[in-house]
Amino acid sequence: MKIFLTVVLIFCSMLLAGESSQQGGKMDIWFDGSNNIACDIQQVKQSLENLGEHYVAIVGLMPGLSSVELVDQGSDFVTIKTNEGYMKRTNISFRMSDESLLVDFDEEYKAGSMLTTKSHFSETFTATNSSIEYRLVISNLTAPGFLGFFYRNFGNSNTGNAFLTAYKTYYEGNKP
């Protein structure tokens, strides 16, 4: 009985410390998905000319967010306030060619005092015959604590697919 209780105690402490199956609660690739969007690469490049407007519009299409407003922006960062908390996207960089665009950034999302996530986003937009292929890779996710355990282990599909849907809705419904 002592061994069983010791194992349960160790497991619970790992959950609370955010160190379950990943060292330090950090994962390499957390989500990797793509979809086709009926727009052209110029439309994507044009929408990214104003990072604040772009990310507020995209985040505003995420499920469960009823309030999204721009707090601050610069040439390589945005800070957004939502009804859940604050989102900071920093180190935003672009690599462009005639037929593709790669966007990289780091994100810290504080959902109240209960959960803080940090991750890296890589977004690739590639022109095809009549549309673009949008690929999203979310990596290096950290989300410590008990709620972080559940987010790390069960939130990837919902979160990643919500971003894919938000981009598709934005570009197909809004022609900048």
The reported pLDDT for the residue numbered 7 is 38
The reported pLDDT for the residue numbered 27 is 56
The reported pLDDT for the residue numbered 10 is 45
The reported pLDDT for the residue numbered 130 is 86
The reported pLDDT for the residue numbered 1 is 57
CATH topology of domain 28-173: Alpha-D-Glucose-1,6-Bisphosphate; Chain A, domain 4 (3.30.530)
Supply the pTM of this predicted model. Answer: 0.83
Please list the ranges in the chain whose pLDDT falls under 70.
1-27, 174-176
The reported pLDDT for the residue numbered 3 is 56
Per domain, the residue ranges of the chain are: 28-173
The reported pLDDT for the residue numbered 173 is 87
Alpha helices in 132-174 (DSSP H): 145-154, 156-173
The reported pLDDT for the residue numbered 113 is 85
Instruction: Strand 85-96: give its sheet, edge to edge.
Output: 26-37, 132-142, 115-127, 100-111, 85-96, 78-82, 68-73
Angle at 14 between CA 145 and CA 160, to 5 degrees: 50
116-133 per-residue burial string, b: 16 or more CB within 10 A, e: under 16: bbbbbbebbbbbeeebbe
